[in-house]
């Protein structure tokens, strides 16, 4: 049993970066809606549920001066999720907010330009590559639609 616990703590994590696009706050849990699918044991879903910590614990940690490395689960934030861990649970499981890592956030200026602010080195490059890949996929899908429309046979004119 000791070896199993040791292996769990030293295994390589399989993180994937997700953007929080919206959230639904309930009395004792928060559902974060994400920009891509998270794999669970019962399927793939675009959300992840997090249990809230009691206010007494968070206030007590603040008063004692304990470090707060708990991620902020707000819209526009990017989080890294260990997808191997989520595959071991169903989509209804309430994860701890400490089970994900906050990697950055996106800000939008008054002109509508998006800027990514990274919290940990190297993640801005990952997010930017992901944005570029999505833009290329959208361009290809639009081109494909145009080509399909161009090749459709028109009825003869009378």
Quick: pLDDT tens for 22-38.
Answer: 988 888 888 999 999 99
Residue 45 lies in a domain: yes
Residue 21 lies in a domain: yes
Domain containing 112: what range?
Answer: 12-119
Residue 92 lies in a domain: yes
Residue 149 lies in a domain: no
Spell out the alpha helix ranges (H) of the chain.
2-10, 55-64, 83-86, 123-150
**Residue 49 pLDDT:** 92
Residue 148 lies in a domain: no
Q: How many helices (H) and strands (E) does the chain have?
A: 4, 7
The number of folded domains in the chain is 1
Quick: pLDDT tens for 58-79.
Answer: 554 445 544 444 557 888 888 8
Residue 151 lies in a domain: no
Please give the order of strands across the beta sheet that includes 100-108. 94-95, 43-51, 29-40, 15-25, 77-82, 100-108, 114-118
Q: Which two tokens stand for residue 117?
A: 């602010």
Quick: pLDDT tens for 104-145.
Answer: 777 777 787 776 666 655 555 666 667 777 778 878 887 777
Q: Which residue's entry shows tokens 């028109």?
A: 154
pTM exceeding the 0.85 threshold for the entire prediction: no
**More confident position, 20 or 71:** 20
């Amino acid at each position: 049993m000791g070896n199993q616990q040791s292996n769990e703590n030293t295994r390589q994590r399989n993180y994937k970066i997700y953007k929080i696009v919206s959230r639904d706050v309930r009395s004792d849990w928060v559902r974060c809606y994400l920009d891509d699918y998270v794999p669970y044991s019962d399927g793939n879903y675009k959300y992840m549920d997090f249990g809230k910590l009691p206010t007494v614990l968070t206030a007590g940690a603040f008063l004692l001066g304990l470090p707060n490395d708990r991620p902020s689960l707000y819209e526009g934030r990017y989080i890294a999720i260990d997808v191997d861990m989520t595959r071991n649970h169903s989509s209804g499981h309430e994860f701890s907010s400490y089970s994900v890592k906050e990697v950055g956030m996106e800000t939008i200026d008054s002109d509508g330009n998006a800027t990514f602010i990274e919290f940990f080195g190297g993640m801005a490059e990952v997010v930017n590559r992901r944005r570029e890949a999505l833009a290329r996929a959208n361009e290809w899908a639009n081109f494909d639609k145009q080509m399909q429309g161009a090749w459709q046979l028109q009825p003869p004119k009378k």
